[in-house]
Structure 1
Amino acid sequence: MTTEANRPPVPPFTYDEAVQKVRMAEDAWNSRDPEKVALAYTPNTRWRNRSEFPKGRSEVQEFLSRKWATETGYRLIKEIWAHSENRIAVRFCYEYHDENGQWYRAYGNENWEFAETGHMDVRHASINDVPIAEADRLFLWPQGRRPDDHPGLTELGL
């Protein structure tokens, strides 16, 4: 049991609360602020992200700092796939370019498990990067939060 304040919405999730949690995560990740993003996870969170296995907020923050130092122009869209009382399954895509200017679209799925406080305790992510031409980019909003009127993954055919 943690003494941290709750991070609403908290489990058990309704469908609308799960959708809200997904959008909150998308917004936080689009901020590209590793310290802010890490606060959404339990102090002892456990991750699997590709071939890395960060444990705890400090390792998550270090991981995100490295990630966003090399994934320039990062823009992300997340969409709920399914949910239960304390778990949410998400599909996502993000676009970024590397130091050579090569653009990529990363496609992935995440499985999330939440503590009773609403902090994410477990995150499993499977991700594939596909090189794309700059002209094929679809995520063109200014850096930061995706505008409410910007299409989601389903509307974009992704």
Structure 2
Amino acid sequence: MTRPPIPPFDSETAAQKVRMAEDAWNTRQPEKVALAYTPDSQWRNRAEHFMGRDNIVDFLSRKWTREHDYRLIKELWAHEGNRIAVRFAYEYRDDSGAWFRAYGNENWEFAPDGRMQRRIASINDLPIREDERLMHWPQGPRPQDHPGLTDLGL
């Protein structure tokens, strides 16, 4: 099974890969998202380190149980060969109703078939007021006309 676009990436295919990942994560469907990763994909997310699709599904299921009204925007930072660097921000509220904007960077490494074999994420959470939210769209992928990170000043 291949997951186009496949490496090596140029500016257009790298940006396409980033948007595809953003759209998938905004579905909040762990099983669907996990298909973009190799069966033995290695992850570091904040302080968690794990490997494999089953663990990806478990991680994302826990994440989206805690992070309500999740909205994510990713932006291409750099690319070369089979690697892509991404910056991102997402907004969510916790069980108490408090809102947060998480900022971070991801380093991605892809297998020849276009599936991600390594994901390294560094993330920081910033408490925000509800009226400071910038990511307003119905649950699901970000509309094409919604501003990206740069346009939002993030």
Q: TM-score range by the shorter chain?
A: over 0.9
Q: Does 1:78 align with 2:48?
A: no
Q: Give a deviation string over 1:91-140, Cα, whole Å, max 9, x none.
A: 00000000000000000000000000000000000000000000000001
Q: Does 1:133 align with 2:129?
A: yes
Distance 2:53 2:100 in 1: 27
Give the AA of the match of 1:96.
Y
What TM-score comes out, normalization by structure 2 length?
0.99
Computed over aligned residues only, the root mean square deviation of the Cα atoms, in angstroms, reads 0.4
Question: Which position in structure 2 is the counterpart of 1:106?
Answer: 102
Distance 2:83 2:129 in 1: 35
Q: Give a deviation string over 1:9-41, Cα, whole Å, max 9, x none.
A: 000111100000000000000000000000000
Say which SS state the counterpart of residue 45 (structure 1) adopts: strand
Which residue of 45, 50, 53 corresponds with 2:46? Answer: 50
Distance 1:154 1:54 in 2: 31
Q: Which runs of 5+ in 2 are unaligned?
A: none
Structure 1: which 4+ aligned runs deviate by more than 6 Å? none
Equivalent residues of 1:111, 1:124 under 8 A apart: yes
Question: Which position in structure 2 is the counterpart of 1:40?
Answer: 36
Distance 2:91 2:22 in 1: 13
Distance 2:137 2:69 in 1: 10
Q: Give a deviation string over 1:67-109, Cα, whole Å, max 9, x none.
A: 0000000000000000001000000000000000000000000
What TM-score comes out, normalization by structure 1 length?
0.97
Q: What's the offset of the Cα at 1:54?
A: 1.9
Question: Which position in structure 2 is the counterpart of 1:30?
Answer: 26
Q: Which runs of 5+ in 1 are unaligned?
A: none
Q: How many matched pairs? A: 154
Say which SS state the counterpart of residue 154 (structure 1) adopts: helix
- Normalized per residue, the structure richer in strand is 2
Question: Which position in structure 2 is the counterpart of 1:120?
Answer: 116
Distance 1:122 1:145 in 2: 23
Question: Which position in structure 1 is the counterpart of 2:5?
Answer: 9
Distance 1:149 1:109 in 2: 23
Equivalent residues of 1:22, 1:79 under 8 A apart: yes
